[in-house]
Structure 1
Amino acid sequence: VFIAYYPHPKSCIYKLNSREKTTTYNVGLDFGFLNNRINGAVDYYYRKTTDLLNSVFVSAGTNFKNKVLSNVGSLENSGIEFSINSKPVVTTDWTWDLGFNITYNKNEITKLTTGDSENYYVAAGDNIGGGRDMKAMAHAVGHPASSFYVYQQVYDENGKPIENEFVDRNGDGTINGDDRYFYKKPTADVLMGLTSRLSYKSWDFSFSLRASLNNYVYNSVEAGGSDCNPTSVYSFGALNNRPLMGVANNIQSKNDNTLLSDYFVQNASFMKCDNITLGYSFKKLFGAPIGGRVYAAVQNVFTITKYKGLDPEVEKGLDNNIYPRPLTTLIGLSLNF
């Protein structure tokens, strides 16, 4: 921890915080069968992070801005990782390599050093709603890190959200910040991966798949574009764009409570095909003793998901008008002289 003093009429003291500290415990088992044609590993891990960093508000006049990076508490992660690799087919002409891995992870905030009341929380994550100083995530003891902290939406008989209607969770007859609750988290419970490479004589074909299960995203694009009031859609002599997913609910009077509705916290589980490659290897080129390989590959091939936004894989669980990943095609030639 470094403390520096800057001359100031109010004699303010500024504190630069220490880094996060992580302690990890791991126990594992490696295995192999059939001359190692089947091999893999199982690992259990436990990680404890202290001095967890987060941006917090500070008193006016004590710094050059109203928020600073501060150590706010402790976090625990635990989980199991399993991987297996095999060669199901090995013959003179055919070879098949197959790999699979899966990880289960659980994380929980165990301590907050900046407050100790029962309902205390620390706002986390980036701002929502087009740069407004408002956050939809928070750290709180007993909950996963950066859990969504939102209002519970009320729906009609057709499952459509009722505008500005939320559950009065504390029963005091008023909808305010005391009615927000912790709902879902941005990190996945389960991550999986599958790789395959099939070779026949000089030909090879490979692909890789990834899956993420039970991760959630705050759809800031839909939330920010959900106001369909004519005076908002057409203002200052110009039309304002609205995403089709935002138009469907026809919200006429968007406010802060609307933006913090759990309706915009959406399941972003997905399966992705990262790449597919087809190649051919040769030892001679036009009769010359030049070896090499020619191949064609496609990256970011497809995504299977129910998420309504452009991409369910976003940073920090906030979809705030991201740039979409392109589908890329490659054709290559490598030569060995």
Structure 2
Amino acid sequence: MNVQGLWRRCATMIALFLWALPVAGQEATQRFVAADAAPQTSLLVRSTTDISIFAPALEAFVTQFPTVQIQYEQWGSNALYSDSLSACEGQSLPADIVISSGVHQMVDLVNRACASEYRSDLTAQLPAARIWRDELWGITREAAVIIYNTDLISAEDAPRTRFDLLDLMRRPSDDLIGKIATYDVEASGLGFLFAFMDSQEAATFGGLLEGFARVDAVATCCSAEIIEGVESGQYKIAYNVLGSYVESVQHKNLGVIHPEDYTMFLSRGLMIPKGASQRETAGVFLDFLLSPQGRAVLSKSTLIHDNNSDETSTTLSAERYIPIGPTLLVAMDKQRRGRFIAKWRDTFGMDAQE
């Protein structure tokens, strides 16, 4: 073999090695293909949704469309936003579909012209709060809940409202010191969105921050970590946890509360990037998720809470739906975000992230 041929072989081996390495920010990956199928199309899906929860929908899709295989990548919301923005600017290869619970980040991507348009009979049936510019669609309906360890918090003390939680944190006892958890708004795009929406909606938000500081509440990154912490007794209560992740498996000692003053509902946003190589198949996938069959699978996987609820409810209702649209761009304003995070760091005694 001559030098040029050897160089080409080495370059190919290096490329294959680098392809096999996990991408920074990517948490897990899995391939979905129907049994005995010979797929002709590969659909690359990048999403913040845990593989274990989204797998039934992915399996149902490839079973119905066996000529398509799905390469699914699970990401953290902040990393997925950065990756999608990089792809939009031509600095990396885009996915065919991006799905994120950090809906404000998705709205920003659409606003930056990073998405492709798509229309169908099924997308046209979506309520206004779950579609924007035919470029971003809400595919789930998930609640932000309070969870508590039933072995450590009595049913009488379980906070049914934010006012109840405030009362608990204001007690002179040290029982809750270091025992209340919520998302770290810098590490979690979802956590930032929930906290920011709270600050816009709740007269109790300032009191909650004061209470969190009083009991040395813990801000941490991820739904799974928070749920496991409450279940193990590391924490007694967790605030603003994504209910779909709690309800996806049975827990012997977890109580789940939909706050009675108001419960926030989130719809994960799905976008077809402008550089997607499989736009047509991406549209087929979106329509499947919006179809009765797809919604039934998502409901069974706890990603759609109460399939028949009214998503156009007013702010006077106990349900507050986070709408997909330009109003969420306020949460992406750099100065406003900086002030909000500074207040959060002060509350939780956190140093600025590098």
TM-score interval, normalised by the smaller of the two chains: under 0.3
TM-score (norm 1): 0.23
Q: Which has the larger radius of gyration?
A: 1
Higher relative helix content? 2
